Structure 1
């Protein structure tokens, strides 16, 4: 475990983490983007996928806590052909604007480089401008976009790839 700005950053799952991460995504995306409970279910499915194939030599997890409260999260998920996917980057509203996203991205990129991945990508949706700025700052660039109604409302989904 490590301390960042008085918060605890850990890299191992504990009982209850998956449910808290899905709940955090569900609540925040409902409040900030009008996404229905289907989005929370989607996040839970993806977390189960991540956990079921989790390999500590290939996958990274960063869980940011303020005492017992989970306030931030992200993962590096291994994919075929030495590719990595950045997933689930999220911070509670009161913890944004303090550089914590930068700290998480730096941890993610260090792990990515240590494990010698050959490429990385992520998907995001419209309305995520602060996150997009963060991704671009750390070398991701937009590759493609598609219109989607996957979560019940019209969204623009964007694929970003890490420039190598």
Structure 2
């Protein structure tokens, strides 16, 4: 099989039938495999994606669905929270990491954030996702809050990162 490059991946900015379920599935599967999260995390993702869809307005919200060969290999969304935008559900499947896809999705996120005139942006992650945190910090996000949690089937530290635009 030929090696995959960023040029082989397409990115669309709209949801299609199956996307919400598949992105929920990816989160449940990968976070179990890589971080031993429980099913409560998958339910959390499902509820958040349902909330996003129910309040969706393409002028203030956006998805970036990265695909290769018709299959979702990455995902990120910007959710309108008034003056703030929330970055949520950023995921890249293992075979597509290290290609620059994360940076590409973050660049698209930041461009839309500025285009919409948001004053701030924030996200929640956990202490175990150090590579993701490093990427967020490279875009100016700063750790602003930590709290211990067992919400996802194990004890961990949830972290909030904020960006002032």
Task: Pick the aligned partner of 1:46 from 31, 45, 48.
Answer: 48
Structure number with higher relative contact order (C-alpha < 8 Å, ≥ 6 residues apart): 2
CA shift, 1:36, in A, is 1.3
Q: 5 Å matches for 1:2-151?
A: 4-80=6-82, 82-151=83-152
Structure 1 stretches of 4+ moved >4 Å: none
CA shift, 1:144, in A, is 1.0
Give unmatched runs, 5+ long, in structure 2: 1-5
Give unmatched runs, 5+ long, in structure 1: none
TM superposition score normalised by structure 2: 0.95
- Judge conservation of contact 1:141–1:163 (CA < 8 Å) in 2: no
TM superposition score normalised by structure 1: 0.95
- Cα deviation code 1:116-148 (max 9, x no counterpart): 001110000121011000000011000010000
Q: 2: CA distance between counterparts of 1:132 and 1:51?
A: 26
- Judge conservation of contact 2:119–2:164 (CA < 8 Å) in 1: no
Secondary structure class of the residue paired with 1:150: coil
The alignment yields a C-alpha RMSD, in angstroms, of 1.2
